[in-house]
Amino acid sequence: MKLYEYEAKQIFEKFGLTIPKQIAVIETTEELEFSNLNFPIMIKAMVLIGGRGKAGGIKKADNSDEAKQIVSEMLDLTIHGYPIDKLLLEEAVDIASEIYLSVTTDPATFDVVIVTSASGGIDIEEIARTKPEEIWKNSILDNSKILPDLIAQEAVDFLIKKNPDLKAVDDQLKTTICSLFSVFQQVEAKVCEINPLILTKDNKIIAADAKLVLDDNSLYRQAPMLKSISIDPNSKRHDVSEQTQFEALAYKIGFPYLDLLNEPVNFVKEEDKLYVGLVPGGAGYGIFSIDEVVNVGKRYFDGNVIPINFMDSGGGPSLSKVADMFHILMDHPAADLIITSRFGGISSCDIFIQGLIMSLRDRFMKNKRMIPVFGRMVGTDLAAAKAFFERAKRETPEPLKDLHIIIGNQKIMADVIKDGIEYGFKVKKEIKQGGGN
């Protein structure tokens, strides 16, 4: 669950961090009239997505005319396609310098990691790219609930070395870092971030922005904390801003689906790489097949093979759900190849092959994009599946000409994946030589 900035700040404040005084959260221009305003104020768009500043969602107002103008314009704005329903009005603080500070989990090692930089205010990825020496990072290996003093001191020393002005607030800085670490551990967060953490002209350290993402798995334990800032712990707050169009579609149809590429629609493919979509049998094999595609790609194809998704049909999917699972990847602009597998435990191979063939015939008739499918099928209803498959190939060879399903255990999946990738690269090369797209 992602929290809005004003909610995150309220939690940060409970843990001793200093935040700008919040005046109101409003949804209409009229509400502005009833707010007691002490100018200058900040007017901030409450959307669950970053980069609001650049998109015109963060403005300073020096008087009430300006405030009215900004509020009415901002409520009409969308940020990255998301409408702005709520605005936070808060005291504007005078900035002397901006710091970046976050506590999160390293996605590779799963250690808790603290990141800070004296060059705050801008995108941390941008700093990492252009000035990596400006970033201090430390992993806390034992998952302790309290930040060891030595580590906090090291972070403070780094910040002071980069910006000597911070010497005057060294104690405040240390307390802030320790407090943010406590927030992270106590509310069982995935991300706690302050960017910018501000040094004011009168030497105060204030969290001017706040990002807090909670772990959905621990929300039930965090009910009292959520209630304390007026969030119903049972309410669902989908991070719509984070869902890709395919994830949203799969959610609607009713199966778990994740895009591994951030932006599948505007994604720019690298020309020498093959992008592989996966329709696995079950979640466990789904996770494993992501690794296996990368593994085969590294061994035989110079690492030029990229898995693009995860999905799971759940036990006993219907014919139409199976068809939809294939449609999603055939519509996916990045996909060059689909690898599929059935270890038909509770799921019927017969329903599976019928659903798959239904999707291919449907697309062929409608002239929709089709990509090769490689896979293997064993388990429940195999004989019926085999009979259906053979007949279908005789009856409609054209739509099924790029469907390569091994029925039985003649090949291990790694070899099926390898054959598929080889074929995928061959097709890609032919398309390129043919000048098509």
Nearer to ligand GDP, 58 or 187 (CB): 58
CB atoms within 10 A of CB 238: 12
Nearer to Mn ion, 209 or 324 (CB): 209
Tokens representing residue 415 in the block: 């070899």
Tell me the closest approach of the beta carbon of residue 10 to Mn ion, in angstroms.
17
Residue 192 Ramachandran class (φ > 0 left, ψ -120 to 50 alpha, else beta): beta
Query: Could you tell me which of 180, 184, 176, 185 has the C-alpha nearest to residue 206?
Result: 176
**8-state DSSP, 2:** B
Please choose which of Mn ion, ligand GDP, none residue 173 contacts, taking the beta carbon within 5 to 8 angstroms, the exact cut-off set by kind: none
The torsion angles phi and psi of 104, rounded to 5 degrees, stand at: -155, -170
Place of tokens 């509400």: 31
Alpha-carbon span 164 to 296, nearest angstrom = 51
Ranked by CB distance to ligand GDP, the top (closest) residue is 53
Alpha-carbon span 418 to 299, nearest angstrom = 10
CB atoms within 10 A of CB 412: 10
> H or E segment at 285?
helix 283-300
Core vs surface per residue 9-37: b (16+ CB within 10 A) or e: bbbbbebebbbbeebbbbeebeebeeeeb
Tell me the closest approach of the beta carbon of residue 95 to ligand GDP, in angstroms.
5
Ranked by CB distance to Mn ion, the top (closest) residue is 209
Tell me the closest approach of the beta carbon of residue 103 to ligand GDP, in angstroms.
17
Give the β-pairing of 274-279 and 337-344.
parallel
Please choose which of Mn ion, ligand GDP, none residue 92 contacts, taking the beta carbon within 5 to 8 angstroms, the exact cut-off set by kind: ligand GDP
Alpha-carbon span 343 to 324, nearest angstrom = 19
Tell me the closest approach of the beta carbon of residue 379 to ligand GDP, in angstroms.
50
Query: Could you tell me which of 198, 189, 196 has the C-alpha nearest to residue 217?
Result: 189
Nearer to ligand GDP, 53 or 256 (CB): 53
* Choices 1-9, 87-95, 207-215, 256-264 (CB under 5 A): range interacting with Mn ion: 207-215
Tell me the closest approach of the beta carbon of residue 121 to ligand GDP, in angstroms.
4
Please choose which of Mn ion, ligand GDP, none residue 51 contacts, taking the beta carbon within 5 to 8 angstroms, the exact cut-off set by kind: ligand GDP
Alpha-carbon span 375 to 280, nearest angstrom = 9
Tokens representing residue 122 in the block: 């801008």
| DSSP SS3 for 337 | strand
- Give the one residue of 5, 209, 292, 312 binding Mn ion; rule: CB under 5 A: 209
**What is the x/- site pattern for Mn ion, positions 109-148, by CB under 5 A?**
----------------------------------------
Tokens representing residue 114 in the block: 């603290």
> H or E segment at 396?
none
Tell me the closest approach of the beta carbon of residue 354 to Mn ion, in angstroms.
51
Rg of the Cα atoms in the chain: 27
Nearer to ligand GDP, 198 or 322 (CB): 198
Binding footprint of ligand GDP on the chain (CB under 6 A)? 20, 42, 50-53, 58, 60, 92-93, 95, 98, 121, 195-196, 208-209
Please choose which of ligand GDP, Mn ion, none residue 68 contacts, taking the beta carbon within 5 to 8 angstroms, the exact cut-off set by kind: none
Cite the beta strand spans of 27-145 per DSSP E: 41-45, 58-61, 78-79, 82-83, 87-91, 95-105, 112-117, 135-140
Please choose which of Mn ion, ligand GDP, none residue 42 contacts, taking the beta carbon within 5 to 8 angstroms, the exact cut-off set by kind: ligand GDP
* Choices 28-36, 206-214, 349-357, 358-366 (CB under 5 A): range interacting with Mn ion: 206-214
Tell me the closest approach of the beta carbon of residue 404 to ligand GDP, in angstroms.
48
Tell me the closest approach of the beta carbon of residue 45 to ligand GDP, in angstroms.
8
- Give the one residue of 117, 119, 182, 195 binding Mn ion; rule: CB under 5 A: 195
Nearer to ligand GDP, 59 or 418 (CB): 59
Place of tokens 């190849």: 337
**How many angstroms separate the first and last alpha carbons of the chain?**
40
Nearer to ligand GDP, 80 or 238 (CB): 80
Please choose which of Mn ion, ligand GDP, none residue 93 contacts, taking the beta carbon within 5 to 8 angstroms, the exact cut-off set by kind: ligand GDP
Number of C-alpha atoms within 13 angstroms, CB side, residue 290? Answer: 14
Tokens representing residue 253 in the block: 């149809």
Task: Based on the shown chain and the rule CB under 5 A, indicate whether residue 5 belongs to the binding site for Mn ion.
Answer: no
Tell me the closest approach of the beta carbon of residue 87 to ligand GDP, in angstroms.
12
Nearer to Mn ion, 209 or 381 (CB): 209
Q: Is the separation of the CB atoms in 306 and 273 below 8 Å?
A: yes
Place of tokens 């195999």: 382
Please choose which of Mn ion, ligand GDP, none residue 26 contacts, taking the beta carbon within 5 to 8 angstroms, the exact cut-off set by kind: none
Tell me the closest approach of the beta carbon of residue 211 to ligand GDP, in angstroms.
8
- Give the footprint of Mn ion on this chain (CB under 5 A): 195, 209
